[in-house]
Amino acid sequence: MKLLSIILSIVVSASIDSTTLKVGDQTAMHFEVTQDAGDHISFPVYGNQLIDGIEIVKHLPQDTTRLKDGRLTIRQDLILTCFQDSLFYIEPQRFISGEDTFTTSALSLNVVQPFIIDTTDVQIFDVKDIVKAPIWWWGIIRWILLGLGIIAVGIGAYFLVRYLKQRRKAETEQPVDPELLRPAHEVALEKLDKIREEKLYVKGLDKQYQTELTDVVREYLARRFDVSSQEMTSDEILAEMKPLLQEQKELYTLLDRMLRLADLVKFAKHRPTPDENEASLRSAYRIVQETIPAPPQDADADADDNDDTDEADE
């Protein structure tokens, strides 16, 4: 099954060898991009999973073919497997070229169990006949075991209470990071200024530059929006931030583009140009500056304004 999405001169497609797969079997997913020779397309970046439940066994290298009209066809394959009996919906996959995003159509994969386990004829037999223990010493053993259990519970409770007290004491004595006492946007803007001054990408340190830049944005989002962005993948961050930036769709697009580019650089899938590095820095500044929370209104100032209004009315 092959589905296409055509925008301008770039054509992207995604297909899968089989829409039905047995549990544990493998199939191939194909990505294909047709473009002009001068275009640059960034493919989606994956880890060990395509989506939750579908694992990627192998990432095959990209293969480029030149067509008769001078255009290029770039192909990349993923080998997939699944161990869960279910029907999976694969969302449209995104390809990025400059400021444009190209998407394929959605795909589906039906994973089925190849056999049925029949438990109707299963019988359980004793290994040997049950031997009854003499009543007089079995009662003594039960009381001994009960006593040992009570002692064990008491010892465990003692060490648990002791551990919790020590942990609480350590938490109260732990010094507070001064940066956590300052507004999140102030800390983020200072770090961005430092990154702008160092210009690591000029020294060829593109990966370090992109890593430090996205770390600043992740820390800011964690404090500003209470999102555990430092422990999330780029896809998880974007999923959390989409409803939070619903009224600021342009900022969401900048965040998406910046995180995708950083992932490509970190996994050595792309060597960014100076313009791309600077664009990511500008995006980071805008994300911080345009999400600074409004300062709280002074209740006394509001009261004075109301008094002045009343006097003017009189």
Give the end of a domain, one of 86, 112, 138.
Answer: 112
Whether 118 is in a domain gets the answer no
Confirm whether 106 is domain-assigned.
Answer: yes
Task: Give the domain range for residue 262.
Answer: 180-289
Tokens 């583009």: give the residue: 257
Are 98 and 15 within one domain? yes
Average pLDDT, the chain: 82
Q: Is residue 37 part of a domain?
A: yes
The strands making up 20-22's β-sheet, listed across from edge to edge, are: 20-22, 107-112, 86-90
pLDDT tier at 199, thresholds 50, 70, 90: confident
Q: What is the DSSP string of 91-128?
A: PPPEEEETTEEEEPPPEEEEEE-SS----TT-----SS
> What is the per-residue pLDDT for 267?
86
For residue 125, pLDDT over 70 is answered with no
Cβ within 8 Å of residue 41, ≥6 positions away: 10, 12, 33, 35, 74, 95, 96, 97, 102
Number of domains in the chain: 2
Q: Give alpha helix (H) positions in 115-183.
A: 135-173
Find, among 47, 53, 54, the residue nearest to 28 by Cα.
Answer: 54
**Residue 89 CB: number of other CB atoms within 10 A?**
10
HSE of 64, CA atoms in CB hemisphere, 13 A: 9
Has residue 100 got a pLDDT over 60? yes
Cα(16)–Cα(24) distance, integer angstroms: 16
pLDDT of residue 297: 67
Instruction: Kindly state whether residues 103 and 196 are assigned to the same domain.
Output: no
Q: Which residues contact 199 (CB under 8 A, 6 or more apart)?
A: 209
What whole-number percentage of the chain has pLDDT above 90?
15
Question: How buried is 245 (Cβ within 10 angstroms: 0-12 exposed, 13-18 middle, 19+ buried)?
Answer: buried
Closest CA to 188 of 279, 278, 292, 258: 292
| Domain-located, residue 38 | yes
Name the band, by pLDDT with cuts 50, 70 and 90, for residue 253: very high
Highest-scoring range by mean pLDDT, 24-38, 123-137, 299-313: 24-38
The DSSP symbol for 2 reads: E
**The pLDDT of residue 203:** 87
pLDDT-above-70 percentage for the chain: 81
| CATH number, residue 63 | 2.60.40.10
Let me know if residue 277 belongs to a domain: yes
Per the domain annotation, does 188 fall within a domain? yes
Q: Would residue 159 count as lying in a domain?
A: no
Contact 198, 242 (CB under 8 A): no
Backbone angles phi and psi of 40, in degrees to 5: -125, 120
Q: Would you say the pTM of this structure is higher than 0.85?
A: no
Which strand (E) or helix (H) includes residue 279?
A: helix 274-289
Last residue of a domain, one of 89, 112, 135: 112
Last residue of a domain, one of 88, 112, 136: 112
Residue 160, domain member (yes or no)? no
